[in-house]
A and B are shown apart, each in its own frame.
Chain A
Amino acid sequence: MSTFYDEVQALKARYPDWLSATMPALRLAQEKHGYLSPDALRECANALGTTPAFCESVATFYDMLHLQPVGRHMVEVCTNLPCALAGAQRVVEAFEEQLGLRAGETTGDGEITFRTVECLGGCGRATVVAVDERYHEFVTPEKVPEIVGAVRGNA
């Protein structure tokens, strides 16, 4: 089995300049550590041959890279204009009620982080919900318990 260090070397080899491997390497580190903890950033920087500060400066720019702990599962509801017009706020509220939290928070057992996100590119099939990066489309409040149940079932 290849180590994180080896995998990052393979990523670097894909590009004319190793720097381009920064984002895929950060993603890999996040998958390994759950979020980009100081340790994850150090390990990533070491494998890339740069500094943790550089890695952190890149990571803070992107919504899918997490500098704070998040739940094992990520549930995201798009609330941008097309989803808003289709009733996304009622979907948000159904998740908040079902999970007992507010958008931006994580369940007490550390299983699920729930948040609103900007446009996911499923506007014709609104409301769009992403569960661990897999899309559920045409989501209505009625479908929320089933989605939460499936996430919990995977826990």
Chain B
Amino acid sequence: MGTPELILAHTDERDLAQLDEYRAIGGYRSLARARELEPAALIQAITDATLRGRGGAGFPMGRKASLIDQKNPRKYVVVNADESEPGAFKDREIMGRNPHLLIEGCLITARAIEAHAVFIYIRGEYLTEYEILDRAVEDARAADLFGDVDVVVHRGAGAYICGEESALLESLEGKRGQPRPRPPFPPVTGLYAKPTQINNVQTIATVPKILELGVEEFAKIGVPSSPGTAVFSLSGNVARPGNYELPLGTPLRSLIYDVGGGIPDGRAIKGIIPGGSSVPILTPDQLDTPLDYDSIQAAGSFFGSAAVIVVDDRCCMVQLALRAAKFYMHESCGKCTPCREGTRWLVQLLTRIEEGDAVDADLELLESVCSRMLGRSLCALGDFAVYPVSSYLRKFRGEFQQHVDEGACPYGAESSIAGIEAPIDAHMHHPTVEVPG
């Protein structure tokens, strides 16, 4: 492709998890450069590079850093490595194949905000990547790269909501991972109520590359409003799924067809979920949308975590909406009413529609529940639960209506995801079995 890989550069030909291999390609030179610069100059570089968060919200990293009270003697850097958005598997690859780049980014970020402690919160399920990352941390520590900074890798224990930054901080403090009311935001009141810079793995891993290339060169990659690259996680009904690092602004069509090899078995695309399961679906007429924050938003969806899920024409959209809704119901922390109650209403209504028991008014009720949830929850999870349902309903209304009119799912067992079970089903239907002995 001739694309400028930044984050995953050299990962095919070298084992960059080894410190000497990482150093052989110039690793930790950006850290040395950073230590010659004033912290304010580092924040300025990150700001000038227009580095936007790669975790989901796309918030400029430099703006977060500028909100931190530099005079406070206790500040923290926290890395959000709790990747759990369905469709996203890029951070796992970055940590597994280029852990030192993340560590270098952590140390530079710590220098920028003058923090002495870094916590990397990695999702509990990533055991193999935890082991690789933890070993890389120990190697870097032994090589005296930490200076006056300490890095702790902290494992989660299975909760999607902990990818939400305030829930992550609660969880890191040893509590249930329930989001905090905001403001105050983490740069003001974060971990242990201290100013905290919290960013996604890929965002932090991009920082050394900005110093390595220089702001001007970095800004030439991608599009002016969103410079740089993103590691796109491509999955679903596509010939070559996988992680692909591409410049921001790459057309969706190019990712799916040129890079991903198109749709297998001669099927047609029905929909494309461009940023992980929580974002509104796009339709094939939108394949020319450039993959950057502003363009995807203009197309009616979100960049999210750059997790592109392709859905072919064998899939029943009511079944897909129901499966997504069950996920968000399972992961709702239960703290605020619109999300806790709303996710249950969505699952019940979609179940009724899928089973052919719905009447016309149920579709209106479904729309109504969506609009009553949207923007009313304590954190974004409430909105995330709505977007798949409301966007599938809007774009595939005829299919929902067909379920009502025919009193049955028009796809039935022919749908590619027919009968798909969810963890919440086990909670509701199977009592725990006592283990003998």
Which residues does A use to contact B, with CB under 8 Å? 14-17, 19-24, 26-27, 57-58, 60-65, 68-71, 79-82, 84-89, 92, 102-106, 108-110, 115-126, 130, 133-135
**A4: shortest Cβ distance to chain B, in Å?**
17
Q: Judge whether A80 and B157 touch: CB under 8 Å.
A: no
**Residue in B128, B237, B420, B426 with the greatest tally of chain A CB atoms within 10 Å:** B420
**Once bound together, how far apart are the Cα atoms of A130 and B427, in whole Å?**
19
Total A-B contacts with CB atoms under 8 angstroms apart: 191
Residue contact A61 to B277, C-beta cutoff 8 Å: no
Determine if B435 and A116 form an interchain contact, defined as CB atoms under 8 angstroms apart.
no
B262 contacts the other chain (CB 8 A): no
- Shortest distance in angstroms between A75's beta carbon and chain B's nearest beta carbon? 13
- A82-B235, A105-B430 known; A23 and B156 CB under 8 Å? yes
State how many angstroms separate the Cβ of B431 from the closest Cβ of chain A.
9
B419 within 8 A of A: yes
Contact of A117 among B83, B309, B423 (CB under 8 A): B423
| A126 contact set on B, CB distance < 8 A | 235, 241
* A92 contact set on B, CB distance < 8 A: 421
Q: Is the CB of B128 within 8 A of A121?
A: no
A27 engages B155 (CB within 8 Å): yes
Answer whether residue B182 sits at the interface, using C-beta atoms and an 8 A cutoff: no
Chain A residue numbers with a CB within 8 Å of B69 are: none
Other-chain contact of B418, A89, A116, A119, A125 (Cβ < 8 Å):
A89
In the complex the two chains form, is A23's CB within 8 Å of B171's CB? yes
Give B123-139 interface residues, CB cut-off 8 Å to A.
123-128
| CB pair A89 B124 closer than 8 Å | no
Knowing A62-B156, A81-B324, A85-B315, the reply to whether A118 touches B426 (Cβ < 8 A) is: no
Interface of B (DSSP majority class): loop
B165 CB to closest chain A CB, in angstroms? 16
Other-chain contact of A123, B89, B117, B323 (Cβ < 8 Å): B89
Q: Mark B297-324, 1 if CB is under 8 A from A, else 0.
A: 0000000000101011001000010011
CA distance A23 to B168 in the complex (A): 12
* Chain A residues closer than 8 Å to B174, beta-carbon distance: 17, 19-23, 58
Which residue in chain B gives the minimum CB-CB distance to A82?
A: B235
With A19-B173, A85-B416, A104-B426 known as contacts, the answer to whether A120 contacts B125 (CB < 8 A) is: yes
Partner of B87, one of A24, A82, A109: A82
Q: Are B420 and A124 in contact (CB under 8 A)?
A: no
List B contacts of A68 (CB < 8 A): 432
Query: B243 in the interface, Cβ–Cβ < 8 Å?
Result: yes
Do A61 and B235 form a contact, CB below 8 Å, given A80-B323, A81-B320, A121-B83?
Answer: no
Tell me whether B229 is interfacial, beta carbon within 8 Å.
no
